[in-house]
Amino acid sequence: MKRPLPERILILKLGCTLPSLKSRKGDFEEWIITGLGLPGEGVSVIDVPGGDPLPALNGHSGIIITGSHTMVTERKDWSERTAAWLRDAVWKNRPVLGICYGHQLLAHALGGEVGDNPRGREFGTTEVELAEAARDDPLLSGLPPRIRVHVGHTQSVLRLPEGAVRLASNPWDANQAVRFGASAWGVQFHPEFDAEIVRAYIEHFRGVLSAEGQDPTRLAMTATEESSGRLLLRKFAQRVRAGA
């Protein structure tokens, strides 16, 4: 029998979206809460860069780490403190889901390497292929062998920490989804994004994308609404609710 959530899911807010997006669509944590399909009272948010202290691990049933416009390689004090806290969470088998920056921070915390993706920035809606290991993965099992997801990142996990399991990849990024330990996952893509958000980011980075030889207009035109991200968030919420 599934047992009820002992406490809220904790969202570690590690950054904010573009001001123009925030004013009309909210911020990272609000998009995640919507994707989880949980009532607002089932989630708490800690703004780590804003000065909120990291709480005791036993006070929450699961942890989600947002994206950020900061780079992991900047080694900000708040980021390094969060990395140490997350290392403890993974060792204690707390259910954790890192998104984009959160994914990279998990890898960094556990001994992996993060840096600029040598292929450049990856923005838009793209296809990722699930690895054989994903078939039996508690979070990704049941998903189609190829899923379309929203992406928006400059840095990537360049080397996985020891013991990590690659779950999904594409030609741009070998580590689109990874399992760290028994109950922690990282996804380079953004399950909380929709097509409007992706297009806003493409427009914001139009100049640098063009300078890298990419076609921002094509990227915006091929950005589509996808359901895989929301399904993944809801599966994570179900895992937490089941006491995984």
Catalytic residues: 100, 190, 192
- C-alpha closest to that of 71 among 93, 41, 104: 104
The phi, psi pair for 175, rounded to 5°, reads: -120, 65
CA-to-CA distance for 195 and 93, rounded, in angstroms? 34
- C-alpha closest to that of 180 among 57, 85, 90: 90
Q: b or e along 107-118 (b: 16 or more beta carbons within 10 Å of the residue's beta carbon)? A: bbbbebebeebe
127 CB contacts (<8 Å, ≥6 apart)? 146, 147, 148, 149, 170
Beta bridge partners of 153: 122
Query: Do 221 and 127 contact (CB within 8 A), yes or no?
Result: no
Query: Do 104 and 243 contact (CB within 8 A), yes or no?
Result: no
Query: Do 199 and 223 contact (CB within 8 A), yes or no?
Result: yes
